[in-house]
Structure 1
């Protein structure tokens, strides 16, 4: 949000909220304040002040207030003391500045009218919410700024409030009144780029600077840029606004919101009011940021588990390599017994004829403090130990490899997740299989906690063993509902279903009909896709679209290259007994080479 957008948004808010009553005040996180307002027209609004350092914003909506922090922070308690049941009288902004000033009128304990102001400084890195009284003395602030942070402008209780430094340049109205010659002279002395142009006019952002260049044409002259800048300032001075949210593609993510029409951004959604556009943009961007944070957190946890499993695999591989030496130790023991009469006492080693390989000698290290028979016994014991180690390590190594394959599939699923439901399914599977922590110890009964009173017979007969961790995880997984699988409809009407995680993949396979088709990207982690027959014969188009979906939701689906996708009838797909979720074997399959594509146009509600 720049000064132009804030300047046009404040009158809209003033017209809507002037006279409204503050019913509730809460904070959903350390940076976000919510005010529930009840207008004179009996409409409930939620005014949200997001004072995050990266993307501060002001959002007005009719959504219910989210759950607040418990216990409420001290600043919330201060706001409730001064603003609860207060009425908003005006909402203003200083000319072309990103500071919203909410003026409130309330009645104190003595019945006297009291005026206060809540200032929302909506600037990145320095965003803040400050409560001041009629004399502009600070009563409290969301962030306290002392001289160690800012020597010029302290924001502390009982200190006078100082507004942010001004921009020291003319606003759009004053700039447009300048003569064309003066504007041309100023621009001739600076490089013509969006950031420099935004520094000529108060309230401008680099986005408007880019708009000035776009309107000036390709490779514009200084005269064309000056004319474009003056024309844009005249539009703003005349109130010619077209609020809209702008996107990076036809179905892309939001990249900007502005009150001025931005002709250099072709994809946009228009709105009637600036506050509506800002609210829609902020909700979308906040949702995207929240999704990315959760995706990063889940991926990091999975990758940490992958690192731990890789270390275990390396240890077990070393144990397997050691265990394979058992045959050599057994052979040495047998040779010592076979040639025991030729081995001198106290020898440190001897070369013995290896009767398994004609004409070859095998050097056998010996312990000189032991007899030949004792050395043979030592080698036989070592062989048995290594055989046991080999047996255990081989089993554990296979478990490690299976776990790594499963974790890689989860990492891939988190990587190609598109919604929070996808991430919830991945997180559910990870927590279900890994467990969420140590189980609490069993608490003794009340009878056992009373000194001198013996336990009852029923208590003595209770089993002392707790349920195993595996059974507890299975019980938890049954109680926790999974999000529904992804559903698609092919261009000719066939139902296509895709699992969000390995547990859903197994469930889809169990519920699929024998004649349905099963799809999976070849030699990579990915979603299992089921193409349901619906009593009809499959069309080549439906098969290809199902293969494209399987390629899109695979580990290599977003690289842009063609992906091999195997498919076969469900009756030829078998779940491997005792294997991890999503592990199957299949036969009598065919392979398609398809280019992954976003299947959003085929998506249907679950």
Structure 2
């Protein structure tokens, strides 16, 4: 969502009513481009978030604790110097331009009352937060900004301490509060190859692409090729939108659907039949929820990318290690050859003498009883040469046993890493945090001191309901798989897992589920596995009581018996309950 002028208008209305006459209690800068002002009014504190982040530029009330750097950045110190204890006089916006100004009654360095302005320009990559001092004839002087803008960066204006403050250039678009059908038609007439939504964004001040899409869907649900086709219903809808903005009669909602970015709607209230939508009584609350979801989604994407990269790197190294071990094991298959050499030399000692570099002796292991040439060490006696081959045989035999164990361990490590890869591919943010902790404990990544995840970020298994109304649970990571199978599930319930590959543990909460339920659960087991992109995938199922965890096994690793196998097409959805 772009933080457009209409959204800013609604935020300004609420802030003007709530915060006027509030005093600045605290000023924080949690990151390079974000400021949080804590203001107090009528014994109540409010946190106001102001961000110039190009991707998340916004203004809204904020709740929750914020981690701050140990040393406040320079702009934070500047704000504290000029605004600590200041009283908020007004919150201003010129029309529907994306510039909001907070006007404060503060004091200068001599203790003389002075009007200070915190100007928030919310314009994508050009967003900025600017502190200015009011001057004569309404000409403000820049005291500092969160982003410095010099002559090389902008030909229109500079934003540097001591420079006069000039607002961004006006957009010269139609006024949402006064636009009529004739003005819209004239603006649309010169546009080619644009959709109605794009035309609204270009023509009308304060409308971003998301609000434009809402407006178009309200006045023309069936869609239109060109904005001129629906200019009249657009004009009527714009008048309704303007009236709702002016009165503050909006019912914002936020939707968050799996696999999609969250969406904020100004005009579409949440409905009871849409579990993915949440309604809000204020635009500030809606924005806070929306950006919290967006931040969680971005954190999830970044963490997933990091974990997948680490796991894939470990898998690559482990595969190379296994390849070398298997090659060495193959070489050790020749151990019996050295034993035979020793036995044949022992049997033919009477034919040999010291100083020979090779011996041709009868090969009693050959049905044809042909002779065989065996290399000798000339400096050794025939008996010593025979013992040399026996010693070499014993070394390879014992080494092979050790190496076979190591190959087995390496294959187990590889299976475990592949299970992490599958889990990280499908996990949500809480699940990814749990996977990271598991990888830290396994020594795959360096352990760091981190705060405990909040209660709302505790990972839970996926919950589905089968066509027969039976509960099905799907583990999202190895730890969840262990808890689900070994602790939560009843012993007579049905356990499913893709055959011979890493994947989720699936539990059907029934002792004898109908065929449709079993097929649905098997499809989920295949869908949340390494075979998710395959077809006709074999899935084993058995009762939970036949699933055991070997002593010392890695998280998620189990053995099972009494299984049966079905072949299914992988699926990742039925009707998710959670």
TM-score, scaled to structure 2: 0.79
Report the count of equivalent residues: 550
- Which of 314, 318, 323 does residue 309 from structure 1 map onto? 318
Bigger mean CA offset, 99-108 vs 505-514:
505-514
Q: Match of 1:11, SS?
A: helix
- Which of 220, 224, 244 does residue 252 from structure 2 map onto? 244
1:201 aligned partner: 204
Q: 1:43 to 1:601 in 2, by over 3 A?
A: farther
- Which of 223, 230, 239 does residue 234 from structure 1 map onto? 239
- Which of 157, 161, 165 does residue 165 from structure 2 map onto? 161
Q: 1:408 to 1:230 in 2, by over 3 A?
A: same
Q: Match of 1:164, SS?
A: coil
Show the 5 A alignment for 1:293-304.
Answer: 293-304=302-313
Q: 1:554 to 1:213 in 2, by over 3 A?
A: closer
Encode CA deviations 1:92-140: one digit per residue, 9 max, x unaligned. 2233322221111123454321221112222222333222222433322
Please give the alpha-carbon distance, in whole angstroms, between the structure 1 residues aligned to 2:197 and 2:373: 81
2:505 aligned partner: 528
Offset of residue 37 of structure 1: 1.8
- Which of 8, 14, 17 does residue 16 from structure 2 map onto? 14
After superposition, the CA RMSD in angstroms is: 4.2
Offset of residue 401 of structure 1: 0.6
Show the 5 A alignment for 1:255-404.
Answer: 255-260=262-267, 269-332=278-341, 341=351, 354-359=363-368, 380=390, 382-404=392-414
2:417 aligned partner: 407
Offset of residue 91 of structure 1: 1.5
Please give the alpha-carbon distance, in whole angstroms, between the structure 2 residues aligned to 1:221 and 1:514: 60
Please give the alpha-carbon distance, in whole angstroms, between the structure 2 residues aligned to 1:127 and 1:261: 28
1:477 aligned partner: none
Offset of residue 385 of structure 1: 4.3
Offset of residue 588 of structure 1: 2.0
TM-score, scaled to structure 1: 0.76
Please give the alpha-carbon distance, in whole angstroms, between the structure 1 residues aligned to 2:408 and 2:439: 19
Encode CA deviations 1:408-432: one digit per residue, 9 max, x unaligned. 1122222222341x22332232222
Please tell me whether residue 417 in structure 1 is matched to residue 427 in structure 2.
yes
1:568 aligned partner: 542
**Equivalent pair of 1:562/1:596 in contact (CA under 8 Å):** no
Please give the alpha-carbon distance, in whole angstroms, between the structure 2 residues aligned to 1:177 and 1:502: 61
- Which of 493, 511, 523 does residue 517 from structure 1 map onto? 493
**Equivalent pair of 1:529/1:546 in contact (CA under 8 Å):** no
**Equivalent pair of 2:52/2:122 in contact (CA under 8 Å):** yes
Show the 5 A alignment for 1:575-594.
Answer: 575-591=549-565
Offset of residue 591 of structure 1: 4.1
Bigger mean CA offset, 268-277 vs 537-546:
537-546
Encode CA deviations 1:580-602: one digit per residue, 9 max, x unaligned. 23332222234456664547754
Offset of residue 166 of structure 1: 3.1
Encode CA deviations 1:170-204: one digit per residue, 9 max, x unaligned. 333465375566345324x5644643552233333
1:555 aligned partner: 529
Offset of residue 288 of structure 1: 1.8
**Equivalent pair of 1:254/1:281 in contact (CA under 8 Å):** no
**Equivalent pair of 1:494/1:542 in contact (CA under 8 Å):** no
Encode CA deviations 1:529-561: one digit per residue, 9 max, x unaligned. 45567xxx6553896499369628832586596
**Equivalent pair of 1:258/1:274 in contact (CA under 8 Å):** no
Gaps of 5+ in 2: 449-456
Show the 5 A alignment for 1:429-578.
Answer: 429-434=438-443, 486=461, 499=475, 501-511=477-487, 515-523=491-499, 524-530=501-507, 540=514, 544=518, 547=521, 551=525, 554-555=528-529, 564-578=538-552
Please give the alpha-carbon distance, in whole angstroms, between the structure 2 residues aligned to 1:362 and 1:243: 94
Offset of residue 163 of structure 1: 2.9
**Equivalent pair of 1:21/1:39 in contact (CA under 8 Å):** yes
**Equivalent pair of 2:200/2:212 in contact (CA under 8 Å):** yes
1:96 aligned partner: 96
Offset of residue 46 of structure 1: 1.7
1:140 aligned partner: 144
